[in-house]
Amino acid sequence: MIHRGSDKDLVLKPDVCVVGSGPGGAMVASRLARKGASVVVLEEGGYHLKDEFDMQEATAYPRLYQDRGQRATADLSISVLQGRAVGGGTVVNWTTSYRTPDDVLTYWRDHFGLGLGPETLKPHFEDVEQRLGIRKVDLEDTNPNNRAIYDGCRKLGWQVDTIRRNVRGCLRTGYCGMGCPVDAKQSATLTYLPDAVAAGAEVYSDCRVDRIEWSGRRATGAIGYFGSGRTARVEPRVVVVSGGAINSPALLLRSGIAGNVGKYTWLHPVVAMGAFYDEAIEGFYGAPQSVASHHFAHRTEGAGFFIEAAPVHPMLASIAMPGFGAPLRARMDLLPNVCATISLMIDGFDASERGGTVTLRPDGGPRLDYPFTDRIYECFRAGMKAMARLHLANGAREVVSFHASPVHIRREDDLALLESAPLGPNLFAAFTAHQMGGCRMGADPAVSVVDPQLRHHDFENLFVVDGSAFPTSLGVNPMESIYALASWASQQILA
Ligand SMILES: Cc1cc2nc3c(=O)[nH]c(=O)nc-3n(C[C@H](O)[C@H](O)[C@H](O)COP(=O)(O)OP(=O)(O)OC[C@H]3O[C@@H](n4cnc5c(N)ncnc54)[C@H](O)[C@@H]3O)c2cc1C
Ligand code: SF4
């Protein structure tokens, strides 16, 4: 069953202890429990269901996100949106569902010695798509915030399409990021975790695993603390770390397991543009994401990027928009007429890139450093220009950047202004909702943390199964890839 914390100390001796219950942890728990293993899942977030999802940002972000929605890089230059709940990021994510691109799998094979070909993962993707109800969005079901991207790209002859979503009976309320109030979103909380529980798994919420204990080449236990102050001591045969990027590396580091842990953390770093239209956009309503353009994913001038929409809820928008006081209030008055469009950099595919690094703060929490480089700035500028161009082509009155001193673009000639606008930490708004890497998988222990079967190079019964295992970013939204990887990895763990 799913326990809401515990008011007594626990000592448990299952076959498998899974730390974290996002797509990685939920999938592993369900697969292993169904094969007859006794499974305990420890999750630091709370267990929240639809009746609690009141569609208020002020409730949802503190309750369902890491660091109450305030997570950021150490220099505060990148806001880090990351889920923290039974179900992990799937409780708050925007339901966009992609398979891992074939060329990414090929890159991993060639550079990291992984055997994860499209054919290997295919049955796992098919199973996930069936279980989560993943299907393509009809164009007429896109909201104006997404439709503008579609129409702008088409006018420029750029690749664009509707995306696929993991929903059943979506009412297009727009509140995916605050927890679906009608259970249309097929989160892990509604799918793979109940599957695991039906097969006998025990899930404990509100339990933060502080450290993994180990001796020689074996992990011997997981020590967690409930919000109540009670302790969970789990002594399993196998430990699976599925706390997600940033968190899984931090757990290993707290446990005295270092090496490459925390290195090569990828973020799909995001820059945004606001496009102001005469007509109402009302980007707070409708499925948050339903359209994407991968036209620039394989550009050769610098890192690739892809373009999607972001929902325009008041709190998120006011944090993202530059300035404060009267100017910010004036901008917020225009919210119903703004399209929020994001460009996501595809990081990790150039030999020069190191990405981010997770280390520990003095209190044992994760510290993330992700230094900006010229390659990143070049990609950000290219993304901003592309977003401005597609909205100008689509008839936007004005496109405004998220620099500290915003750049206003009303015609093509104004695009040059983006070249000279200063970029630097905290001189513009940057975000991430896709954290990957930090426990990189690979055949060579010199540049990775876990082997191609996701087993830690130094420990025979310690696996890392979540987005932190990706060697690079993906170039597509990561959820479905993590589910499929975890489904495949479960076979390796069983073996
Ligand atoms: C706002 C938002 C929108 C997004 N939209 C999309 C989208 O549309 N499509 C898409 O593909 N992806 C999207 N993502 C990203 C996607 O949700 C994540 O990539 C995915 O959930 C990561 O899965 P994971 O298993 O690696 O980790 P997570 O989902 O982060 O799960 C890890 C869990 O482990 C728990 N945990 C961590 N450390 C510990 C510990 N020490 N002890 C106990 N528990 C611990 C965490 O609380 C968390 O619940 C979005 C994310 C956000 C935040
Ligand atoms: S848009 Fe659909 S999936 Fe998202 S919260 Fe609303 S009903 Fe749920």
Q: Centre a 10 Å sphere on the Cβ of residue 172 and count the other Cβ atoms it contains.
A: 17
Identify the pLDDT of residue 46.
98
Instruction: Indicate the CATH number for domain 2-66+83-132+186-263+435-494.
Output: 3.50.50.60
Q: At what angle do helices 144-156 and 374-393 cross, to 10 degrees?
A: 90
With H, G, I as helix, E, B as strand and everything else as coil, classify residue 23.
Answer: helix
Q: Is the CB of 457 under 6 A from ligand 2?
A: no
For the segment 247-261, the average pLDDT, to the nearest whole number, is 97
Separation of CA 370 and ligand 1 centre (Å): 19
Architecture of domain 139-171+270-346+373-424: 2-Layer Sandwich (3.30)
Separation of CA 321 and ligand 2 centre (Å): 25
Residue 171 scores a pLDDT above 90: yes
Do residues 39 and 61 make contact, with C-beta atoms less than 8 angstroms apart? no
Identify the pLDDT of residue 321.
79
DSSP letters of 279-345? S---TTSS-S--EEE-TTTT-SSS--EEEEE----HHHHHHHSS--HHHHHHHHHTGGGEEEEEEEE
Question: Which of 295, 434, 456, 457 does the annotation list as catalytic?
Answer: 434
Which ligand gives the minimal distance to the CA of 247? 1
Looking at the chain, the whole-number percentage of residues with pLDDT higher than 70 is: 100
Identify the pLDDT of residue 344.
98
Identify the pLDDT of residue 93.
98
Identify the pLDDT of residue 63.
97
- Confidence category of residue 458, pLDDT binned at 50, 70, 90: very high
Identify the pLDDT of residue 195.
98
The atom of ligand 1 lying closest to the CA of 289 is 8
Q: Terminal CA-to-CA distance of the chain, rounded, Å?
A: 26
Mutate to test the pocket of ligand 1, among 93, 165, 178 (most ligand atoms within 8 A of CB): 93
12-62: per-residue pLDDT in tens? 999 999 999 999 999 999 999 999 999 999 999 999 999 999 999 999 999
Distances (CA, A) of 211 to 11, 80, 88, 225, 298: 15, 23, 19, 10, 40
In the chain, CATH 3.50.50.60 covers: 2-66+83-132+186-263+435-494
In the chain, CATH 3.30.410 covers: 139-171+270-346+373-424
Is 403 among the catalytic positions? no
CA distance 200 to 93: 27
pTM across the whole model: 0.98
Residue 435 scores a pLDDT above 80: yes
Give the β-pairing of 305-309 and 430-432. Answer: unpaired
358-403: per-residue pLDDT in tens? 999 999 999 999 999 999 999 999 999 999 999 999 999 999 999 9
Do residues 444 and 410 make contact, with C-beta atoms less than 8 angstroms apart? no
Residue nearest to atom 4 of ligand 2 (CA): 176
| One-letter amino acid of 489 | A
Do residues 375 and 302 make contact, with C-beta atoms less than 8 angstroms apart? yes
Separation of CA 484 and ligand 2 centre (Å): 23
> Mean pLDDT over all residues of the chain?
97
Separation of CA 216 and ligand 1 centre (Å): 31
Residue 318 scores a pLDDT above 90: no
107-161: per-residue pLDDT in tens? 999 999 999 999 999 999 999 999 999 999 999 999 999 999 999 999 999 999 9
Q: Which carries the bigger pLDDT value, residue 60 or residue 331?
A: 60
Do residues 101 and 475 make contact, with C-beta atoms less than 8 angstroms apart? yes
The atom of ligand 2 lying closest to the CA of 171 is 7
Identify the pLDDT of residue 387.
98
Residue 495 scores a pLDDT above 90: no
With H, G, I as helix, E, B as strand and everything else as coil, classify residue 434.
Answer: coil
Q: Centre a 10 Å sphere on the Cβ of residue 166 and count the other Cβ atoms it contains.
A: 25
Identify the pLDDT of residue 140.
97
Identify the pLDDT of residue 322.
73
Identify the pLDDT of residue 13.
98
Identify the pLDDT of residue 407.
96
Residue 79 scores a pLDDT above 90: yes
CA distance 26 to 31: 9
CA distance 423 to 92: 30
Residue for token pair 């799909």? 268
DSSP letters of 372-432? --HHHHHHHHHHHHHHHHHHHHTT-SEEEE-BSSPPEESSGGGGGHHHHS--STTSB-EEE
Residue nearest to atom 2 of ligand 2 (CA): 170
Main-chain phi, psi angles of 203, to 5 degrees: -115, 130
- Count of H helices and E strands in the chain? 12, 26
183-200: per-residue pLDDT in tens? 999 999 999 999 999 999
For the segment 461-488, the average pLDDT, to the nearest whole number, is 98
Residue 323 scores a pLDDT above 80: no
The atom of ligand 2 lying closest to the CA of 173 is 6
